[in-house]
Amino acid sequence: MSSTHGGRREGSGRHKGEEVKLVRVPLSKVDAVLAVRDSDYHHTIPLYSSKVAAGYPSPADDSLKDSINLQEFLVRKPSKTFAVNATGDSMIDAGIKSGDMLIVDSSQPGKSGQIVIAVVNGELTVKFLSIRANLIYLLPANPSFSPIEVSEEADFRILGVVIHVIHTI
């Protein structure tokens, strides 16, 4: 039986011996995943060797040291990293303002003193994690807010550790 369709075409199909992996994506997320796939991750910006004095001015130097890829700089483990926007001002004294984008590493379990994204009884929050005498507290960085004591009965989990805060000035 002969056909006018199909057949071998140079450069088509998968290369012999190349492994493939099926990735399942919810239909509601297909457009977002395709947008990420099709975007250019390799934008770099110049990185100058000069240091900028935050105290007294220092002599200017325009020597270009290198360039950096912000994706690589901000995301250590792509499959374990997500971003979320902060709302409210309970973490203002830690430099997190309402509207800031938080870059979160979900592979880190969270240690006392780190800023974490946590779920407490179905509510998301960003706070300092404090573990004292087997008690868990979520501490705000604003004296107008009270610490949250996480009871043993609470539905509690840490989604990850905040590794970067991005805000516009």
Q: What is the mean pLDDT of residues 51-80?
A: 70
Mean pLDDT of 70-80: 79
What's 77's domain CATH number? 2.10.109.10
pLDDT at 83: 87
- Of 29, 67, 77, 90, which residue is the catalytic one? 90
Mean pLDDT of 94-118: 93
Provide the domain count of the chain.
1
pLDDT score, position 169:
82
Active site (annotated) includes residue 21: no
Determine the Cα angle at 69 with ends 67 and 75, to 5°: 145
pLDDT tens digit string along 121-143?
Answer: 989 999 999 999 889 999 999 99
Nearest-angstrom CA–CA distance, 147 and 156: 15
Percentage of residues of the chain with pLDDT beyond 70: 67
Q: In this structure, is residue 8 part of a structural domain? A: no
Considering the domain boundaries, does residue 157 fall inside one?
yes
Q: How far is CA 144 from CA 74, 91, 103, in A?
A: 31, 10, 25
pLDDT of 78 over the 70 cut: yes
Residue-range definition of the domain harbouring residue 144: 27-166
* Catalytic residue chosen out of the listed positions 127, 130, 144, 146: 127
In the annotation, is 29 catalytic? no
Residue 86, pLDDT > 90, answer yes
